[in-house]
Structure 1
């Protein structure tokens, strides 16, 4: 797996970003010649002034003078796979050792005036490693009953450390339940007398208030070893042989089934890379991951029907390869933010950051989308890929800035509550 460059906290972030060769297949001769320099920027000079200014302003605020201030040290305990998205894709940190099966992996990264350390792996067990930090971000999985039990043990452990004054500040990044049924963590929140000061939660939870509870992106499927991908010349400029792709599970009587029927009606399934199965399979093989990456790389569009939640890994994985997500903009069942109370739901976080996707309310709109796609000239597609890849890089950078700023604001006080 390839990893993002570790932020050093000194050079401007734009200068630190390198566009590496993407994982998953050998380089073509065109890529080898085009990527002679690791620092090649595929859209140098194409940045929009407004976007550049906004990002630079955010970074200037983040890197403001720290004269007379103490640097903040935060340790992240990665006890869910989404911790790797936070560490490698957002904070751009490295891990040692690089082997994903290692029992203990760790890394360090400096962002602004915050020094992050990260630990993950099966050997990271409550009570079996030394805690010599004041500030912790605990990354947990709360999707289902068994995961919640495991997550609760970690929260009780952290709570004990706070009560013993061995820990001052605690935040949680939580992979929430797809139906936004997360009441189990409520007693642990500071607002309810608990020890969790800040909660960053995945999916459109009605709890989100941008005060102490913030929305967090699902990101890519790091649990299936989806890598950090950086742009290459061919990713941007090559004609892609497939109009669209969908590789995934088709649940009975779901919108995914409707999508497959619509694709077949017009024969568009012959122009798209489609591979379906009836049952979800959590395990990824080297071959299946490569096929999936190739499908993203070789398709102009990636179809993103809702699963158990509208937000899915596929959206972010498509962005990684410059394949425009066509997203089903429909609320899924459960307790997530409803459009009556939350007009921008679902996918409030992505919409708020101007995600340049194609949103459809019904897959009956797809034939018209595909007809427009067939008529689009390559130069227009290249510009669209640049826009998508720029947005996704900016999305992660702004997330890094926001995450760090929130932690610095909350953790820099000595109030134990």
Structure 2
């Protein structure tokens, strides 16, 4: 029933009602000096006080509770007609009340205000034509045109106030919808950015840790026979960790400032990736046929690198120690086809947990391509097709 208003809005409405009362009461008292026609009409001064006070109250709560304000205004109008008072300056508050019902009221109050515009105009016309204050001559053929004119004027005036409020209501709703849409779009952009950073973080950290773990395990077993192996493994671990740390710092900087680009490797960095995997003890065979025609788009290069990085990371984590990992790249004129095949340990399910497969599929989709990953005959195969022309 009551709307949530700021304190200054309540202060403004109450102050306006007080000023309205102080200005209107003397004018109403001076305008009606004779005896009123109602059966229980009080003295004119007291009637003016009560009448103006009621309409001032309706004016004070018009934004706080438009429905209550409309009810108070109707009560004041009925009381005014019951006392036989003529229309006066206090009735101006009715226009503000009708405006408030359309601009701030609930759906029910909105339509009650609309109906009040017509009902109020009809009541005013009847009261002016046959009421005790104006209708001493009664209804005649000569008064019918005047009554119609009064009815049209009253409908126009009351409905105009309600219509202005309805237009304001529409404008406010449109602004709120626009702001909500802008907030939703901003949240969507922020969520996409978080997902992209999380995807980059996963690719960088997961691959680097897989290499570090493989090197540490290999060095632990080989150190007893050949201490130089441990030294080489520690060097590889150091290099891999430093590179991952630099990438993670760059991603964290994006989270704080949203500036700069994340790690953007290209196909020129694939040899370094292959070297890291080989130093981790994986027998890696790479077949590139045909070679890239010129310089592929950056988005395609990034997608190819990240997909290969994640696929090789999965091979390190879930692949069988024996057997080799086969990588095939075919740079065709309109697309690049990628195929990574590695043997898996019996019972292992590399695609059942984690976010690696999901991340690779998202990478391919963002570049306009597709990716499939499945266990086929004891080997885990990742196949991807990415158009050279970019996202579709």
The TM-score by the shorter chain falls in which range? Answer: under 0.3
**If each structure's helix is expressed as a fraction of its own residues, which one has the higher value?**
2
- Which structure's residues are more often strand, by fraction? 1
Which structure has the higher relative contact order (CA within 8 Å, separation 6+)? 1
Could you tell me the TM-score, scaled by structure 1's length? 0.19
